[in-house]
Structure 1
């Protein structure tokens, strides 16, 4: 098993695209980066800790290779937005790929370069690719939020602009 860690704005919206895939053995919402150990949601949401909301995925690369995770990741985000994602603004919502080994680093760079060359966007791709650091799981009420609060989750996705952006750029 390997780990993959992605920041893509609100972590609630980053779980469902990955969870039903073969070879995915777990997804945990949490925080990565930052300056304090074991941050709380209340601390992270201020944007002052340096953490980003992330999902950490445990996967079997023999069944679902890292390249496929990257193919699923890019359509979940606006890779041209360096100030957050959709209605979620602030450094805690910036998109990033946190790599866990040199192979992931190489593949992430290659996928970003391919997206840049594709001409899909008329602005630069600003999503960072950086080494994974200590991961802190989010509080339990954030885990599987889309299942625990389906109406609120659906409303969040609809009003955030995430789905409209995806339909426009990732048909």
Structure 2
């Protein structure tokens, strides 16, 4: 089974990734907008469906924004970027998990399209919830103790996903 190598998550940079116009109504100082896209080709072989998956995450630079004028200190800006990077790292785990889960299923010839779509929606919902929990528990990065805890959680999940995908 071929495996896509996803390398490392993209590293955020204020000047590169945050081109959007800040939402003045938002109480937050930054937003990292990302899109997960997947597509696949399928072949039916002896009543089994083989899929060739294409799976990618993009950071939408024109929808991502930051209010750097609200964050005066260099340390504050670094902390905020670190928090936003956590969102990217969570999406990176989504990418690897989606790869692993979607490729390693047996699909029925009759309704594999529905099965794949349902599975993709489940994965997406799980990670949307994780993103929300990350923001709530870290108070959008301002709770440093919880941020450190989440850094560990995300790091562990990245290691697990890498290990799981390299064992294939």
Q: Report the TM-score range of the alignment, normalised by the length of the smaller protein.
A: under 0.3
Q: Which protein has the bigger helix share?
A: 2
Q: TM-score, normalised by structure 1?
A: 0.26
| Larger Rg, first or second structure (1 or 2) | 2
Q: TM-score, normalised by structure 2?
A: 0.26
Q: Which protein has the bigger strand share?
A: 1
Q: Looking at both structures, which has the greater relative contact order when contacts are Cα pairs under 8 Å and sequence separation is at least 6?
A: 1
